């Protein structure tokens, strides 16, 4: 019987989980909407039931030894989710304590983007890199930063909030879930590009298959597919999104001088419609000493499993620090 980690990725929209061995092989996996239940307690009861149902398929061959969890505003030091703007659970949520009451196992929590960075470092495209950044483009925008081979947590566990750096510094930018205006994630994320589409539809008269689609029905995937079919509004929205992201990543390079920046999340499915403008505007805005040195790459773990595998990798790393009895 092999030891496995239960890796859990709590996103703003969906929560994914999987049972993962030391080699990064997922034995079985599942997902559910993060909006399930009225409270975090309701959600965890539903999650526990889903996990148990999946585990029954492998219980004869696998033993769960710990949980690794990635979540918005997940704090590695305190084991809490702290005022996550894209989750409906407000305030301080003692997630590690709550999960331990269900699973009776060690639980390790970090920011969802940090988990993605650990997964990229252990299993993905950053295996041989010591300095890189992972940017997650989901409901919001997160980032995990690795410097000299170590994940950067900062003094309080909250380092790496690139999504809440400012694009519009005049106080008149888009309203963010954090309560401020002009944050990067209001322009560059699945939600941000939806807002851009509606602005462009209002400002321009070009034909678009996206006209007539309500905001609630519109998805980033619909925008991606429209761009691939040649829809000008959709293409222009990706150009604008890539421009904003490229400009802000130039700041990140000035701070950190990474070897590569990995992009992960649903928007990555747009491929060259996103990557081309990001690369162009990054290079255009870089200080000369950094030009031509930083790679912009898609996650080496694919679109679906990066954060789950990263959460599992976090738990494996921590168990190595404190060997199991």
CA dist., res. 227 & res. 53, Å (int): 39
Q: For residue 198, what is the enclosing H or E element?
A: helix 190-203
Q: What is the arithmetic mean of pLDDT over 158-165?
A: 92
Structure tokens at 31: 């997902």
What 8-state DSSP symbol labels residue 109? E
Task: Give the pLDDT confidence score for residue 303 in this predicted structure.
Answer: 61
What confidence score (pLDDT) does residue 105 get? 97
Between CA 32 and CA 180 the distance in angstroms is 30
Given phi > 0 = left and psi -120 to 50 = alpha, else beta, which region is 230?
Answer: left
| Residue that the structure tokens 């851009």 belong to | 196
- CA–CA gap between residue 27 and residue 96 (Å, rounded): 24
pLDDT of amino acid 32: 95
Domains of the chain (ranges; CATH) run 2-119+304-320 (3.30.420.40), 129-298 (3.30.420.40)
* CA nearest to 107, candidates 162, 158, 44, 156: 44
Per-residue pLDDT, averaged over 131-140, amounts to 93
Q: Quick check: 170 pLDDT over 80?
A: no
pLDDT at 62: 96
- Amino acid 322: pLDDT: 59
List the one residue out of 17, 20, 16 whose CA is nearest residue 65: 20
Write down the pLDDT at residue 323: 52
Whether 32 and 46 have beta carbons less than 8 Å apart is answered as: yes
Encoded tokens for 173: 């930018």
Distance between CA atoms of residues 95 and 84, nearest Å: 12
Please, are residues 304 and 31 in contact by the beta-carbon 8 Å criterion? no
- Characterise 206 by phi-psi region: left (phi > 0), alpha (psi -120 to 50), beta (else): beta
Residue for token digits 């029905």? Answer: 217
Length of the chain: 325
User: What pLDDT shows up at residue 305?
Assistant: 72
Per-residue model confidence (pLDDT) at position 325? 46
Segments of 238-283 assigned E as strands: 260-264
Sort 128 into a burial class: Cβ within 10 Å, 0-12 / 13-18 / 19+.
exposed
Q: Please give the DSSP secondary-structure letter assigned to residue 278.
A: H
What are residue 20's phi and psi, to 5 degrees?
Answer: -125, 130
How far is it, in rounded angstroms, from Cα 35 to Cα 161?
A: 23
pLDDT in tens, 81-121: 988 877 889 899 999 999 999 999 999 999 888 988 998 99
User: Model-level pTM?
Assistant: 0.85
As a whole number of Å, the end-to-end CA separation of the chain is 17
Q: How far apart (Å, rounded) are the C-alpha atoms in residues 243 and 76?
A: 32
For 176-234, the pLDDT digits (tens) are: 988 899 999 999 999 999 999 999 999 999 999 999 899 999 999 999 999 999 999 99
Q: What pLDDT is attached to residue 158?
A: 86
Query: What CA–CA distance (Å, rounded) separates 155 from 171?
Result: 28
Q: Is residue 133 a contact partner of residue 143, using CB atoms and an 8 Å limit? A: yes
79 vs 95: CA distance, rounded Å: 6
> At 46, is the secondary structure helix, strand, or coil?
helix
pLDDT in tens, 219-276: 999 999 999 999 999 999 999 999 999 999 999 999 999 999 999 888 999 999 999 9
More confidently predicted of 175 and 90: 175
β-strand pairing of 150-151 with 62-71: unpaired
Q: Residue 227's pLDDT is what?
A: 98
State pLDDT tens for residues 33-80: 999 998 999 999 999 999 999 999 999 999 999 999 999 889 999 999
């Amino acid at each position: 019987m092999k030891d496995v980690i239960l890796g859990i990725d709590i996103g703003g929209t969906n929560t994914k989980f999987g049972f993962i061995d030391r080699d990064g092989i997922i034995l079985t996996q599942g997902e559910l909407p993060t909006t399930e239940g009225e409270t975090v307690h309701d959600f965890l009861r539903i999650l526990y039931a889903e996990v148990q149902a999946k585990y029954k398929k492998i219980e004869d061959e696998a033993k769960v030894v710990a949980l690794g969890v990635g979540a918005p505003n997940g704090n590695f030091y305190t084991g809490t989710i702290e005022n996550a703007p894209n989750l409906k659970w407000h305030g301080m949520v003692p997630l590690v304590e709550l999960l331990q009451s269900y699973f009776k196992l060690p639980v390790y929590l970090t920011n969802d983007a940090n988990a993605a960075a650990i997964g990229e470092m252990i299993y993905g495209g950053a295996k041989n890199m010591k300095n890189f950044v992972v940017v997650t483009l989901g409901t919001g925008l997160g980032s995990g930063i690795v410097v000299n081979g170590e994940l950067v947590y900062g003094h309080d566990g909250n380092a790496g909030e690139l999504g809440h750096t400012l694009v519009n510094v005049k106080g008149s930018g888009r309203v963010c879930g954090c309560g401020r205006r002009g944050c990067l994630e209001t322009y560059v994320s699945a939600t941000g590009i939806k807002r851009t589409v509606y602005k462009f539809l209002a400002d321009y008269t070009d034909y678009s298959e996206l006209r007539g689609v309500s905001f609630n029905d519109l998805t980033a995937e619909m925008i991606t597919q429209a761009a691939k079919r040649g829809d000008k509004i959709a293409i222009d929205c990706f150009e604008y999104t890539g421009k904003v992201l490229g400009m802000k990543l130039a700041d990140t390079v000035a701070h950190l001088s990474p070897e590569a920046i990995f992009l992960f999340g649903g928007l990555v499915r747009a491929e060259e419609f996103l990557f081309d403008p990001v690369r162009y505007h990054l290079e255009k805005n870089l200080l000369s000493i950094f030009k031509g040195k930083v790679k912009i790459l898609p996650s080496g773990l694919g679109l679906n499993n990066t954060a789950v595998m990263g959460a599992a990798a976090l738990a494996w790393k921590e168990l190595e620090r404190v060997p199991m009895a």
